[in-house]
Amino acid sequence: MDRYTGILTGAFTALSAFFLCSEYEKKHAVLRTYRVESEALPASFDGLKVLFLSDLHNNHLGRKNERLIRIIEDARPDILLFGGDMITAKAWSKRDFSGLEEILRAFAGRIPMYYGNGNHESRIRTERDSYPDWYPAFKRLLKTYGVRHLMNSTEKIVRGEDTIRISGIDFTAKCYLAGAKRPLEKGYIEKRLGPKDGDYHIVLAHSPLYLHEFSEWGADLVLCGHFHGGTIRLPGLGGVMTPQFQFFNKYCKGMYTEGPATQITSGGLGTHSINIRIMNRPEAVLIRLGRKESL
Ligand SMILES: [Fe+2]
């Protein structure tokens, strides 16, 4: 083998390994767990197990998503939250909600489910010419399986004398443009969710870029996705690239705090457009809430 052939063979082998690893990762999810403690959490909710899913993008992890469903079953959650982009709406995509439906079908009537929109759900809501009938069909799907759809709205969860609240907020298309973070207009969160009251409050907020704003508003727990963990993750450097073409953004995946607010960004469960995951397994996120006693 001459030198030129050797280089070509090496490059081909490396590329093949890269794509094979990615294809394996994309179909094999993990469960990532967090514990979040707060003095604001009422005693009745101490130990609540929240299972959070985002950015499935109509992926199928095993036949009819059986591998993902098994992970959720084994985690034995009390509630199931969806952080958006469980579907894909791109110019080239067909209307196909089957990946989401497989999950909803598995847990309907067994676990309370709440759904907040991502940019793909917002897109089919606002771009009706490009996506005719998609949003009504999506709403019907959620209704069929008893999912509470939080579209700039809030619901109470009551246990005994205690209450917590959960909201879903939509961002405008501007917030999802490529490049640097676009600021939210003044009062954006309060206009959509109202003023924060005294209850412990979880917000489904697809974009992970607005922790500061949610902390100022008074959120206790902000659940995000959208960044797909940064596509490729490098040791010590984190996620390489987000779907908004930001590089090495610190909010790609993990837990962050600011003031009393905690944000958890899921690395998501799927891909679109750039269909690669390296050192970045799809993840279901289990959050165990704990009551922190005040000193
Ligand atoms: Fe997204």
Q: How far is CA 290 from CA 35, 36, 113, 200, 222, in A?
A: 7, 6, 20, 12, 16
Find the domain containing 284 and state its range: 3-291
pLDDT at 8 (0 to 100):
86
**23 alpha-carbon distance from chain centroid:** 21
Q: How many domains does the chain have?
A: 1
168 CA from centroid of ligand 1 (Å) = 14
249 CA from centroid of ligand 1 (Å) = 15
44 CA from centroid of ligand 1 (Å) = 33
85 CA from centroid of ligand 1 (Å) = 5
The angle, 0 to 180 degrees and rounded to 10, between the axes of the packed helices 134-144 and 98-107 is 20
Confirm whether pTM is higher than 0.85: yes
CATH number of the domain within which 72 lies: 3.60.21.10
226 CA from centroid of ligand 1 (Å) = 4
DSSP 34-70: EEEEETTS-GGGTT-EEEEE---TT--SSGGGHHHHH
Euclidean distance between CA atoms 88 and 55, whole angstroms: 9
The angle, 0 to 180 degrees and rounded to 10, between the axes of the packed helices 98-107 and 66-75 is 30
CB neighbours (10 Å) of residue 5? 9
Cα–Cα nearest to 76, from 94, 115, 50, 43: 50
- Residue ranges in the chain modelled with pLDDT below 50: none
pLDDT at 14 (0 to 100):
85
DSSP 83: -
- Ion ligand 1 residues within 5 Å by Cβ: 85, 118-119, 226
Euclidean distance between CA atoms 30 and 52, whole angstroms: 13
pLDDT at 3 (0 to 100):
83
